[in-house]
Amino acid sequence: MKSIAAKAVEIMKFKKVDFGDIRIIEERVQSISVKNMEISELKDDTTLGFGVRVLYNGGWGFASSNIMNMSEVEKVVNLAIDIAKSSSEHINKKVKLAFEPSYQDIWRTPYLKDPFSVPIEKKLEILFKVNEILLKGGKIKIANSKMDFVKTHKRYASTEGSDIEQILVYSGAGYNAVAIGQEVQTRSYPGGTLICFPWVMNI
Amino acid sequence: MEPLAVGSFFVFFGYMGFNALAYYENRSFASGNLGKKIFNDKLTIVEDPFALPYPVMPFDFEGMPRQRVVLVENGVLKNLVTDKKTAKLTGLKYTGHSLFEPNAVGAVPASLCIEGGKKSLKEIISETEYGILATEFHYTNPLKPKTLEITGMTRNGTYLIENGKIKKAVKNMRFTQSMVDAMNNIIDISSEREAYPEWGQVMLIPAIKVSNFNFSSTTEF
């Protein structure tokens, strides 16, 4: 990530853009659901890519890719610059950015436990247990329980000298119960709140 | 209701009605009603991937070729769509309508086609003594799955029809209406149909004129 960000900034500076930045984002999303004591969703996706934003002669340009190598970075930065040059010829008023100091920093979501370090079996065990409780008594015809986990690793670098790395983690969990008779009624908890993993364990 | 208005709620007929899992779980209007006449006899609905004006995925996510399925014929509920699991659960024919597995949704039609009527929309309007012409609905959401009670708003043109003519525009309104009832109150279905894409499926939808449609509130715009 670091070398790709540095390369993009180097090219943008060499091409003398007014302003340019790059965001590289790697995101892992895990979704697990259990419905009526059966796994109904088991997904673990990772996406990785970068976007380049350029201001050239007062016009904006943007380009992106998911191919992570140096020649692709060069191609994408040049494309963003070409688009910025074109847009600068078609605008009434040139864009001028306000002053913003540069930052070199790193931020990590503080957590007690990385939710991705918890085995899927453990998560499923909880989801099955919730299903079991909801279905007890026989009045609930459909029980759903669900967990979602997201980890985003982001690197940002700009021609102004900012270089910021972020590792953001969040978790969510919930369940619903559906009673079916003459009509269908659903109750759920919670309303899609984001909570950390120890909390997930307590639901 | 013009095709864009009908399509916005008709997607729920597929997802919550003709879905064999919803039927099996007793949360569909189809539950307990297969083979019965539950709609107006003007209504015929066919799941037909070959009737659309452009190609759709010819097989489902389990690799099964999508079958043409007559869902409703002259108001009688004939068949439902199934995937491998729901065909086994219900004993119904396997029709090739799975989503990606695993999922908790069930089997969903991919190309719902409502059969067109004989009259054009223009003729239907000219025969309307007093009525509302809704061109589009939005924020269309289900309240009660079994009766398909749905609420939503009109938008992009709602008109008053008087003595066969569009008299004037009216302000937008919210409707709250059982669409199973509405499909029983059909007066006419237009001959022209429009392709309506929604949630990965494409439907072929005519304009439908119904009586006793319940508008539940008004707006200032």
Digit-coded pLDDT (tens) for B123-152: 999 999 999 999 999 999 999 999 999 999
Residue B61 has a pLDDT of 94
Pairwise CB contact (< 8 Å): B146 & A184: yes
Q: Does A131 touch chain B (CB under 8 A)?
A: no
CA atoms within 13 A on the CB side of A81: 18
Residues 6+ apart with CB under 8 A from B187: B209, B210, B211
Pairwise CB contact (< 8 Å): A41 & B103: yes
d(CA B97, CA B61): 8
User: How would you class B61 by CB atoms within 10 Å of its CB: exposed for 0-12, middle for 13-18, buried for 19 or more?
Assistant: middle
| Distances in whole angstroms, Cα of residue A123 to Cα of each of A40, A148, B154 | 14, 10, 44
d(CA B114, CA A39): 35
In chain A, the percentage of residues whose pLDDT exceeds 70 is: 94
Average confidence (pLDDT) over A23-33: 96
Pairwise CB contact (< 8 Å): B102 & A42: yes
Cα B114-B115-B121 angle, rounded to 5 deg: 95
Facing A33 at nearest CB: one of B104, B144, B145: B104
Neighboring chain B residues of A175 at a CB cutoff of 8 Å = none
3-state helix, strand, coil in chain A (%, to 5): 30, 45, 25
Q: Does A67 touch chain B (CB under 8 A)?
A: no
Q: Is the pLDDT of residue A49 over 70?
A: yes
Residues 6+ apart with CB under 8 A from A133: none
Q: Is the pLDDT of residue A194 over 60?
A: no
Pairwise CB contact (< 8 Å): B104 & A144: yes
Neighboring chain B residues of A38 at a CB cutoff of 8 Å = 102
Pairwise CB contact (< 8 Å): B102 & A182: no
Pairwise CB contact (< 8 Å): B102 & A178: no
d(CA B97, CA B63): 10
B82 neighbors B67 (Cβ within 8 angstroms): no
CA distance A174 to chain B (A): 16
pLDDT band at A98; cut points 50, 70, 90: very high
Pairwise CB contact (< 8 Å): A144 & B25: no
Dihedral (Cα; B140, B141, B143, B148), 10-degree rounding: 70
Q: Which of A108-122, A186-200, B131-145, B206-220 has the lowest mean pLDDT?
A: A186-200
The tokens for B65 are: 């070729």
The closest of B123, B30, B124 to B77, measured between CA atoms, is B30
Q: Which of A18-27, A166-175, B70-79, B165-174 has the lowest mean pLDDT?
A: A166-175
Q: Is the pLDDT of residue B161 over 80?
A: yes
Neighboring chain A residues of B30 at a CB cutoff of 8 Å = none
Helix ranges, chain A (H):
2-14, 70-88, 120-135, 197-202
d(CA B185, CA A52): 56
Neighboring chain A residues of B146 at a CB cutoff of 8 Å = 182-184
What's the complex ipTM?
Answer: 0.76
Q: Residues A142-162: pLDDT tens digits? A: 999 999 999 999 999 999 999
Facing A142 at nearest CB: one of B25, B144, B146: B25
CA distance B106 to chain A (A): 10
Residue A191 has a pLDDT of 61
Return left, alpha or beta for B163; rule: phi > 0 is left, psi -120 to 50 is alpha, else beta: left
d(CA B35, CA B23): 13
For residue B128, count other CB atoms closer than 10 A to its CB.
Answer: 19
- Mean pLDDT (chain B) is 95
